[in-house]
A = this chain, B = another copy of it.
Amino acid sequence: MRITTVGLDADDTLWHNETIFRLTQDRLREMMAGFAPPDLLNARLAEVEARNLRLYGYGVKGFTLSMIETAMELTDHNPPGRLIADILAAGREMLQEPVEPLPGVENALAELSEHYRLVLITKGDLLHQEQKLAASGLGDLFAAVEIVSEKDASTYLRVFDRHGTGAAEAVMCGNSLRSDILPALEAGSWGAHVPYSVTWAHEMAEAPAGHARFVELGAIAELPGWVDSLS
């Protein structure tokens, strides 16, 4: 077996992301405390997000719009004081959040980049993802960056064709079974799952335990050793 290329997810694989959404949602719950109990707010926001996902896609701007829509509905279109301005400000803060690689990421990528072509493969807002990569200081380790609107098997086939030697000689590593691992396995690649502490409900899926090309790793630090072991 020859492996030439390692694809890496970005959000919650290389740096925190879901945590920032959760913290912002906590703040929204506090701002809205007089209007909706926490459970109702969470449920309503999840509904609004799901309804808008097809149009807004993934990312902070769509999340901010969905927070505003939820707040307007729950305040009967009568938002108090600076509520909407505060939500807009919270969204802008998310876009300016400092980007810190997760523990072990820098070493793992540096080691992998000596022997394999690294390709960043991520969903989300184009501009914001580029800004996060620049802020992370990890940009130089990647041979290519692909910001995509959806991660399915055809995405991995196309990206590993373009930037590597095909999906069969590539490993995909990420925190989401649904977006990073299952479609990459379907494309014929190898999949290394590195769970993150929090997973967005939308990204939940069952691990393909026993699949010949799948591994579950406890930390990204174990990735270089596993990839080497395949060759």
- Chain A residues with CB under 8 Å of chain B are 52, 55-57, 61-62, 64-65, 68-69, 72, 77, 79, 81-82, 84-85, 88, 91-92, 95-96, 125-128, 130, 147-149
Q: Which of B77, B79, B88, B148 contacts A82 (CB 8 A)?
A: B77
| Interchain CA distance A69-B87 in the complex, whole Å | 10
Q: Which of B55, B88, B127, B130 contacts A65 (CB 8 A)?
A: B88
Give 27 pairs: A residue, B residue, CB < 8 Å, sorted on A. Answer: A52-B92, A55-B92, A55-B95, A55-B96, A56-B61, A56-B95, A56-B127, A57-B126, A57-B127, A57-B128, A61-B61, A61-B62, A61-B65, A64-B65, A65-B65, A65-B88, A65-B91, A68-B84, A68-B88, A72-B88, A77-B79, A77-B81, A77-B84, A77-B85, A84-B84, A126-B147, A130-B149
Known: A55-B95, A69-B85, A130-B149. 7 other contacts (CB 8 A): A65-B65, A65-B88, A68-B84, A77-B81, A79-B79, A84-B84, A126-B149
A35 CB to closest chain B CB (Å) equals: 15
| Interchain CA distance A62-B95 in the complex, whole Å | 12
| Interchain CA distance A79-B24 in the complex, whole Å | 24
Q: Which residues of B contact A81 (CB under 8 A)?
A: 77
Q: Which residues of B contact A64 (CB under 8 A)?
A: 65
| Interchain CA distance A177-B57 in the complex, whole Å | 30
Q: Which 7 A-B pairs have the closest CB atoms?
A: A57-B127, A61-B61, A127-B149, A126-B126, A55-B95, A72-B84, A126-B149
| Interchain CA distance A148-B130 in the complex, whole Å | 10
A179 CB to closest chain B CB (Å) equals: 15
| Interchain CA distance A64-B66 in the complex, whole Å | 12
Are B88's CB and A69's CB within 8 A? yes
